[in-house]
């Protein structure tokens, strides 16, 4: 595991502590991800054939932002990619490194903050974040950074909680998503979890579109994910299958640097 950049903002340290504590709960899911060759995405493990996040992926230099146990990077390495994974949690990267040994598939894992990427300009053809930087980093910091390190024509794919889900959540009680709006959309940005002091970031679609465009991205798709019919109930307390079949619980953005 290589050392990346400095920590940056105070919430980066708080999120590091939170993820070091959660890491042991994510080993089994990470192992399952490494075992699979066909990607399955997100809360409801929706097959890639139904989502299409990698439909344009043709290999090349890849960065995964908030790689965690790094199964997404493993999928991309098996599809002709040269991935580099960056993550803020030493404990998550220790799991990722143990899977690399077990599956005999090595690529660089960097301990660092995706808001301050330790890479030269225009180093990558493809960038991806599955619930990594996409929700744990401030979009006004990490999206300009990923724009900097992508080559012209490079694609960024992100998967995250949908905005409607974020607005229907009670962030203090952490109960299952409601059927009514509980948060204001105007000004939405930073969401603190008082139980573990972690901080997530979610901004509205209008803000996100403006940000992508101001960083030189062209928006190719906004995919709203629906669980397949045969889906099992989720292990996450904040949303259930019934809710996710009425409104998108997850959304993916595909954007390209001009």
Q: Footprint of ligand SAM on this chain (CB under 6 A)? A: 12, 15, 19, 26, 30, 66, 68-69, 72, 86-89, 92, 113-115, 130-133, 136-137
Cβ-based nearer residue to ligand SAM, 2 or 218: 2
**Minimum distance, C-beta of residue 258 to ligand SAM, in the bound complex (Å):** 25
SS3 state at 190:
strand
**Minimum distance, C-beta of residue 232 to ligand SAM, in the bound complex (Å):** 18
Query: Can you tell me the distance from the alpha carbon of 166 to that of 249, in angstroms, rounded to the nearest whole number?
Result: 9
Cβ-based nearer residue to ligand SAM, 22 or 185: 22
- Element at 224 (helix H, strand E): strand 217-225
Cβ-based nearer residue to ligand SAM, 99 or 243: 99
Cβ-based nearer residue to ligand SAM, 194 or 229: 194
By CB atoms closer than 10 A (0-12, 13-18, 19+), residue 13 is middle
Task: Find the residue with minimal CB distance to ligand SAM.
Answer: 68
What are the tokens at 228?
């397949």
**Minimum distance, C-beta of residue 162 to ligand SAM, in the bound complex (Å):** 16
**Minimum distance, C-beta of residue 254 to ligand SAM, in the bound complex (Å):** 17
Query: Can you tell me the distance from the alpha carbon of 42 to that of 238, in angstroms, rounded to the nearest whole number?
Result: 14
Contact residues for 43 (Cβ-Cβ < 8 A; gap 6+) = 227, 234, 236, 239, 244, 249, 250
Tell me if 133 sits within 8 A of 142, measured CB to CB. yes
**Minimum distance, C-beta of residue 12 to ligand SAM, in the bound complex (Å):** 5
Burial 173-197 (b: 16+ CB within 10 A, else e): eeebbeeeeeeeeeebeebeeeeee
Neighbours of 26 (CB within 10 A): 17
Among residues 76, 225, 257, 240, the alpha carbon closest in space to that of 152 is found at 257
Cβ-based nearer residue to ligand SAM, 29 or 185: 29
**Minimum distance, C-beta of residue 179 to ligand SAM, in the bound complex (Å):** 26
Cβ-based nearer residue to ligand SAM, 130 or 207: 130
């Amino acid at each position: 595991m290589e050392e990346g950049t400095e920590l940056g903002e105070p919430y980066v340290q708080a999120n590091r502590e939170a993820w070091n504590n959660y890491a042991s709960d994510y080993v089994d899911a990470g192992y399952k991800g490494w075992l699979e060759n066909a990607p399955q995405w997100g809360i409801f493990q929706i097959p890639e054939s139904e989502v299409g996040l990698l439909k344009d992926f043709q290999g090349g230099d890849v960065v995964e932002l908030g790689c965690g146990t790094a199964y997404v990077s493993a999928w991309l390495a098996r599809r002709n990619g040269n991935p580099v994974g960056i993550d803020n949690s030493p404990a998550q990267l220790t799991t990722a490194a143990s899977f690399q040994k077990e599956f005999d598939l090595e690529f660089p894992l960097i301990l660092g903050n995706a808001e301050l990427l330790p890479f030269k300009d225009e180093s990558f053809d493809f960038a991806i974040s599955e619930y990594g930087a996409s929700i744990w980093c401030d979009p006004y910091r990490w999206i300009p950074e990923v724009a900097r390190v992508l080559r012209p024509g490079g694609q960024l794919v992100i998967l995250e909680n949908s905005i409607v889900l974020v607005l229907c959540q009670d962030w203090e009680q952490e109960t299952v998503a409601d059927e009514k709006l509980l948060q204001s959309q105007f000004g939405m940005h930073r969401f603190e979890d008082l139980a573990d002091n972690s901080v997530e970031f979610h901004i509205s679609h209008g803000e996100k579109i403006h940000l992508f465009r101001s960083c030189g991205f062209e928006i190719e798709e906004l995919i709203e994910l629906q669980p397949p019919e045969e889906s099992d109930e989720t292990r996450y307390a904040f949303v259930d299958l019934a809710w996710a079949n009425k409104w998108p619980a997850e959304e993916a953005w595909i954007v390209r640097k001009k």
